[in-house]
Structure 1
Amino acid sequence: MKLFDVYPLFDVNIVKGKGCKVWDENGQEYLDLYGGHAVISIGHAHPHYIEKVTEQLNKLGFYSNSVINKLQVELAERLGRISGYDDYQLFLINSGAEANENALKLASFTNGRTRVLSAEKAFHGRTSLAVEVTNNPKIIAPINDNGHVTYLPLNDLQAWEQELQKGDVCAVILECIQGVGGIKMVTKEFAQGLQRLCKQYGTVLICDEIQCGYGRSGKFFAHQWLDIRPDIITVAKGIANGFPMAGVLISPAFKPVYGQLGTTFGGNHLACAAALAVLDVFEEEHLVENANEVGSYLMEKLKAIDSPHIQDVRGRGLMIGIDLDCPHADVRKPLIYDQHCFTGCAGQNILRLLPPLCLTKQDADLFIEKLNKILNTL
């Protein structure tokens, strides 16, 4: 048997990591500005994380959600306090797509509607409902194309109002910083207007914080820069620093009904131990604040680069897009193979930076040096 070939792979086998560095099987060191696609929040192989996960594994790795798991209760309480959502409810599952599936499902259970508004260039996952609200026809199979979703231009409040005033919209789902869409930013005016309209027309407002949340933007959630408070928030990626986990934060206005939602693996003991270790490190090392400070520093350095190949730099915290005048592969490939630095990408010409939140200014300077070397060869 061989692997089903779904990704074009770089010819690098990463076997070890520490902080913002990773090493391949030949011992070559790489600077990690990708973070395993925004998943590594506290850094690779953090000693506290290793200690807490190992400690839990030596006790109990998994048991059914049919019995009390006090680690889930502790995680909900701490996440609520740290994020500013201590009055919300937490449902734990395994992945970002699953979080969005359950958020949309809960919205529909609540108001009985079926139509959803999503933004152009949005990405919300690859499973049934999650892929249907993703604005990419290449990954929506015929079985998922059920006509539930209307895609609208980001930040065009009038277009969204025209749809919401029809009174049949179940939910609005929104990334406050689009990741796959190219680090496109939601404006405060649009976000606040959209929240007002959702309340007016009985529509559930879902903020997808899977990539832009969990400290990445320099606040715990990206929507907190916009002074809104959504009905439902979805999280994943950085929540457990690489252990598969996700969550749905649910307004107290929603009342649970047994049997509507459920999960086998979600919120298992190992996952909760990992997620609690992440929150420990967030608080002890002030990583959300670091993301804001170092992200601002890196943005300034990037904007100061005198190169015709950089068209724009945008983002918040440690979620940054570099808009190039050439295909991103022209820069990304030599960054990996020649300068030994990982980045992400979006669209055809955007480098996407999603490093661990422990990135230092020295790491940022090193990246600028490596990037300049590549830009100067184009």
Structure 2
Amino acid sequence: MRFRHPDGTLVHLAYCTNVHQAEDLDGVLTQLARFGEPVRERLGVDRLGLGLWLARPVATELVTDPGAVSSLKAELAARGLEVVTLNGFPYQGFHDPVVKHKVYRPDWSAPERTQYTLDLARLLAELLPEDAVRGSVSTLPLGWRTAWRDDGGQLELLAKGLAKQDRPVRVAFEPEPGCVIETTAQAASLLSEVDKEWLGVCLDTCHLAVGFEDPAAALGRLFAAGLDVVKLQASAALEAANPADPATRRALESFVEPRFLHQSNEGAPPGADDLDLALAGELPGEAPWRVHFHVPLHADPAPPLTSTRPVLAATLAELFGGPAARTDHIEVETYTWQVLPDAPADDAGLVAGIAAELDWTRRSLLDLGLEEVIR
């Protein structure tokens, strides 16, 4: 979906397809028919944005076969779908039974990460609509903190590669709890020397909330460092107001699951690297907890738990409520639908949930004075 900010900026809204399992091109093409087009139809729009996740095997297939790119472009067009952003954080295996720390490998010390990201940028340049100003690729925040080595010049190689493309595509590093770049302060420090024409920040509002960061202060910190918000990931974290309460602890236990990492904080970092560790005593439980578990934007979890939707709303207001739009790419990224305690029972339930999240975001943008662009 597209929106026009009062300053004239065209703002793109998409949902991220890393919620769907697809490790080959046939799987990606199938998900467009199985989910993308039905979500668009449920929203009643003639054009829906996708933040495609192209796993390493899919990207390899596409970069080595121009006919495959043509097939993907044709399928997107036929189903009323468009792509201005890619999620390049997971490399592959994002729907394995256990992902956890594997999602951070290879990190930005490895040439494989650079090549993968440049391949994604090249593919996105081919997929971009003709009237799109630019593309964006989000990526991991350098790496997991305990495994990190120096990038060895990979970020410089990345920027040089992006500068050679025919159409502009920028790469956005996504601060996340427990990583080398965990907070916006670390982003401002560790990315201070990068080529800011091509590199910037992907601001994930779930991660922002888990870090107990104030949206206005966080954005001020990034902009003061000369870092653009290349992309906003609209997401909400799980919140427990009183984690010492037995009923609250039982509710939190229902969110412990084996696939993804659920970093948890009780105030500012450092916290626990996973929710089960927090419940086992790594967090004292004397103040509210926020948990890196992406929950649906449009509805709170069952009481006594809540979500950090107010942090998302405040971030949207900071980015779009003023006289100038401060980013133009928004990606709804609730990748955890299948591991929720009340996970959708079938495709229809997932389609309905994704559409409801997008509709909540659409209404939030309209309330901030943006106008929906109808083709």
Q: Give TM-score scaled by structure 1 length.
A: 0.30
Based on CA coordinates, which of the two structures has the bigger radius of gyration? 1
Structure number with the bigger relative contact order (C-alpha 8 A, sep ≥ 6) is: 1
Q: Give TM-score scaled by structure 2 length.
A: 0.30
